Amino acid sequence: MPASQPRSRARDRNNVLNRAEFLSLNQPLKGNQESRSSSRKQSGQAGTAGAQNSNPKERRQSQQLPEEDCMQLNPSFKGIAFNSLLAIDICMSKRLGVCANRASSWGGARSMINLLGITGHGIPWIAGTLICLVKSSTLAGQEVLMNLLLALLLDIMIVAGLQKLAKRKGPYDINPGLLDYLTMDTYAFPAGHASRAAMLSKFFLNHLVLAIPLRILLVLWALCVGFSRVMIGRHHITDVLSGFVFGYLQFRLVELIWMSSNTCQMLISIW
């Protein structure tokens, strides 16, 4: 036994696999393990210190980025539907803008379409209402004309306020005219001509005795005035449709605050 132990020790020393470079392949040295663990601790401490020193807003933004990316990659159904309808509205409005400029397909009819738009402008209607009011001698006529003047003024103010809130541009880059600046009709939504035409046609249908052909012509005039603004490239289709809706609502508002004959006489006397 004593002789066999020195022999086994010598055999272990002479074995090549027991050398340090071969043992390190399967069993890393303790010094390397300690150095790696210390480097990991230092890097972890540096990371926590950097995270503590970083701005809280940046940390919130980094936490919110994945959620924002998910919202952009997975939009809601309402957002997709709204953007699709908006794209269709812009595309159809550009195609129907056949009189937007002289080079358009119906560029020769631009002057006639502009003239049709003037028939729905607020300034000629206000001026005509004032002239008729001065020349009117009946109490019933003065009452209708005073309420019509009130409806026209309300239309201008309501449409101008809504356009300032929406600030939507038209399908074509067309500068507003002088009359548009006077009535503050400088944006596209809602269409002021369409709202005024709808309000006037409804007002005349309710308060004037007209034959059936005239009633039909009055409705056709309102529709032509509204869609002429699309043909000239000034408004989108949805601007005109919303203008018709607002015109009807303005008529209902005037009916609610209808001024009596005594009130109209008092205002006329003051004037």
Question: Which two structure tokens, joined as six digits, stand for 258?
Answer: 């209808």
Q: Does the annotation count 207 as an active-site position?
A: no
CB 245 within 8 A of CB 150: no
CA distance 167 to 189: 7
Residue boundaries of the structural domains of the chain: 107-270
Q: Does the annotation count 236 as an active-site position?
A: no
The pLDDT value recorded for residue 69 is 42
CA distance 126 to 150: 10
CA distance 106 to 149: 35
The pLDDT value recorded for residue 14 is 57
CA distance 103 to 117: 20
CA distance 191 to 226: 8
Which residue among the candidates 121, 207, 235, 236 is catalytic per the annotation? 235
All residues at 6 or more sequence positions from 189 whose CB lies less than 8 Å from its CB, including other chains:
162, 163, 166, 168, 235, 236, 238, 239, 242
* pLDDT tens by residue, the chain, 271 residues: 555 555 566 565 555 455 554 454 445 444 444 445 555 555 555 444 444 454 554 555 445 544 444 445 556 777 788 788 888 888 888 888 888 877 777 878 888 888 888 899 989 999 999 999 989 888 988 999 999 999 999 999 999 999 999 988 888 877 777 778 888 888 889 999 999 999 999 999 999 888 999 999 999 999 999 999 999 988 999 999 999 999 999 999 999 999 998 988 888 888 7
pTM > 0.85: yes or no: no
CA dihedral 160→162→164→170, nearest 10 degrees, is -90
DSSP letter for each residue of 146-195: HHHHHHHHHHHHHHHHHHHHH-PPPSS-----HHHHHTT--SSSS-HHHH
CA distance 261 to 269: 12
